[in-house]
Structure 1
Amino acid sequence: MSGLVAGGRDGVMGRDGSRVIAAGYGEVTVVVDEQDDPFYTQAALEAHCPGEGRIAVHPTPASGHPAALAHDVLYALGKRLAPGPCSPDVWLDSLDAAWLAAASWAQATGVRHAVIARAHLLTPRRIDQLLTWRTVTGVQLTLLWQTEARALPPVLAQVERRLGGKDSFGALLAEPGPIPARPSFPPGSPLPSVPGAEAVAGISRQSSAGPPREPGPTSARPGRQAVACTGAMATARLGPVAPAVGVAAQSTAVLLALAHPLAAGALSVLAFTRAGLGSLRWTRDLDITGDVSVIKVHGVAHRSCVLYAVSDWARPLLAAARAYHRLGSGPLHGSVFAPVMRCEARHLRAHAGRHPCLSLSLPACALLP
């Protein structure tokens, strides 16, 4: 936050008579509307379109919850936290976990521009949280400061860039924004052409005899060390890839709305592979291809490992899970879903129990404690 460099603070009069000040520092813009014209909030909310990489966040008023603003960002990204004190999303009450989730989803879904309405109601601490989130995600951040300019905190008080009223603000909202930190994976998008993609392209030609399995290591016998299991990209070049199992639209909608990236990613893998819950323990970062088109699902001791094509709808979910793992400094060979496998996957079981429509490899009732 100390990297924000101060500039001038002169205001201009818009053609509509409102006094508007705007400033840019890199990808941060502050718009000050001292008249509190409803136009700016309405324009921001109308411009909200996550599918185009632009979101509008309306902070919950007077919320004292430490992670409230991160939850507001998650809500703008289309994520919904399960309610209640015993909720499977209770771990997102943690400030670090909540902002890490918000950063992961922003990266995975290609958010380019975030507009924060009523920013003058935020505490300096929450403004710092937003600026840190912007630094991590690389999004263009616009803060609507809808009160006197003199009330700006030091980090936002000095401005350089100015807007000439409503037309200029509309033009700002229409800008495409910077290139997202991570690619977007909209439903129905074609698989990128990368090494190993030829195996994915051939899945329609696979027989229906069952998913192809990678032979287990021959050295995995008593008294001998097992051969290290290779990653998905390496094995995708060598063998066939099993097609993803079809998942009903009702189930995919439930998964797409889950707030925690690890829960959403883990349950999506169980849904489109019909693998057992225990297989998630072995899923590593290197088991997901760079374009999130193929994932390797492991058996015990890495025997009978299977390569699966990732369904289009599940690609942003797995991308977010991997982003969460990496932003949390998880190692390449580390388990992506390790945090949600603790306590016998209590959080995953709770989500499965809330949504029987997921049709996992085990019935929801079998996943409950």
Structure 2
Amino acid sequence: MVVAGYGDVTVAVDDQDDLFYTRAALEAHCPEQGRITVHPTPANGSQAALAHDVLYALGKRLAPGPSSPDVWLDSVEAAWLAAAAWTQATGVRHAVVPRAHLLILRRIDQLLAWRAATGVQLTLLWQRDARKLPPALARVERRLSGGDQFEALLREPGPIPARPSFAPTPPSMTKAAVPAPSPPAQQQLGGTRPALMRPGQQARPCVGAMATVHLSQAASALEINPEDAAALADLAHPLIAGALSVLAFTQARLGSLRFTRDIDITGDVGVIKLHGPGHQRCSLHAVPAWARSLLAAARAHHRLATHSPTNSMFDPVMLAEARYLRAHGKRLSPDSA
């Protein structure tokens, strides 16, 4: 066993294809501890196949069919952007990829780009002669004395994940929603709107959630069935998962997400601000614990796509793709369709 390491990328060369190392790589999979094992799908010609494998390792399931919202993820850029967003939001620190010798050079480059975008530690298990390593992986080598050191390598925690910390949610936030008391007139959450507006004049946008969270109590989150929460967590597209989670725990209308921005979610993803027409009756809502990683992924997706914090976060699914949101909604609650 030879291990070549540079930066946060490690190539473990198992030229004997010893079952011990494969088994150790498989047993290393533990998303709860920030470590995943990605299984490359053999003989898959799709350019986005490896990104899909990463999404599967993260617990996401792509819905089949040409009318599925996840048809978006057939695009290479969209698939890797989703994989990077979920990686950051769920706090993955170490990714292990067995059978890396079967990957074509383009897939290896994609993996290295994903690692650079997310900051994870990446371990590739190369089960072939080390002389077959591509130039991108042929770096400084160091020899391990045996399997114990390889197992120790897999137990390393990896870099600190670049994601928000999720503070424990008070039990009261998971109960039925109670209307929040109205703040004083001078502290209305939509208070940036001029008192007198000419016909056709557009209201100025509200300030973000962090600037108003101290002015009013956030409405408590509505309870949803555990099965529905699990189904939302399985969704592969971060924007769809985030949007549907907000609709689920607020019972707001789809149009209320049209003006939701990065700055409308607090740093700990504990509160979100929704906007009414003309920025009147804007409201704060507590985010339940089950939805925080979903909203964190939507925000990570927004940031990785280099959008401004003041741009609408759900814009890509609020126009032509709004039907995808409805389709997923029907899948989650078929009896209500």
Partner of 2:32: 51
Unaligned runs of 5+ in 1: 1-19, 192-200, 358-362
Q: 1:101 to 1:364 in 2, by over 3 A?
A: farther
Partner residue, 1:219: 195
**C-alpha distance in 1 between matches for 2:177 and 2:53:** 45
Of 131, 134, 157, the residue aligned with 2:112 is 131
TM-score (norm 1): 0.84
Per-residue deviation at 1:140?
A: 0.4
How far does the alpha carbon of each residue in 1:208-247 deviate from its partner, in whole angstroms, 9 at most, with x for none? 7524464543536334552431100010011111111111
Task: State the SS of the aligned residue for 2:72.
Answer: helix
Specify the alignment match of 2:207 in structure 1: 230
Counterpart position of 2:95: 114
The structure 2 residue matched to 1:190, chosen from 168, 178, 181, is 168
Deviations 1:92-121 (A, max 9, x none): 000000000000001011100000010000
In 2, Cα distance between equivalents of 1:149 and 1:140: 21
> How well do the aligned residues superpose, as a CA RMSD in angstroms?
2.1
Alignment of 1:55-204 (within 5 A): 55-183=36-164, 185=166, 190=168
- Say if 2:232 is the partner of 1:255: yes
Percent of residue pairs bearing the same amino acid type: 65
**Take 2:133 and 2:3, find their aligned partners in 1: how far apart are those partners?**
12
Distance in 2 of aligned mates of 1:150 and 1:347: 48
Q: Deviations over 1:310-349 (max 9, x none)?
A: 0101000000000000100111110100001121602111
Given the two structures, how large is their TM-score scaled by the length of structure 2? Answer: 0.92
Aligned length: 328
Tell me if the contact between 1:273 and 1:308 (Cα under 8 Å) persists in the aligned partners: yes
**8 A Cα contact 2:189 2:283, kept in partner:** no
SS at match of 2:318: helix
Does structure 1 retain, via aligned residues, the 8 Å contact 2:222–2:249?
yes
In structure 1, C-alpha distance between the alignment counterparts of 2:306 and 2:168, rounded to whole Å: 30
Q: For 1:207 and 1:131, how far apart are their aligned partners in 2?
A: 45
After superposition, give the CA deviation of every residue in 1:102-146 in whole Å (9 maximum; x if it has no partner).
Answer: 000010111000000100000011000000000010000000000
Cα 1:215–1:190 change in 2 (3 A) is closer
Query: Residues 209 and 66 (structure 1 numbering): CA distance in 2 closer, same or farther, change over 3 Å?
Result: closer
The question of whether the paired residues in 2 share the 8 Å contact of 1:220 and 1:226 is answered with no
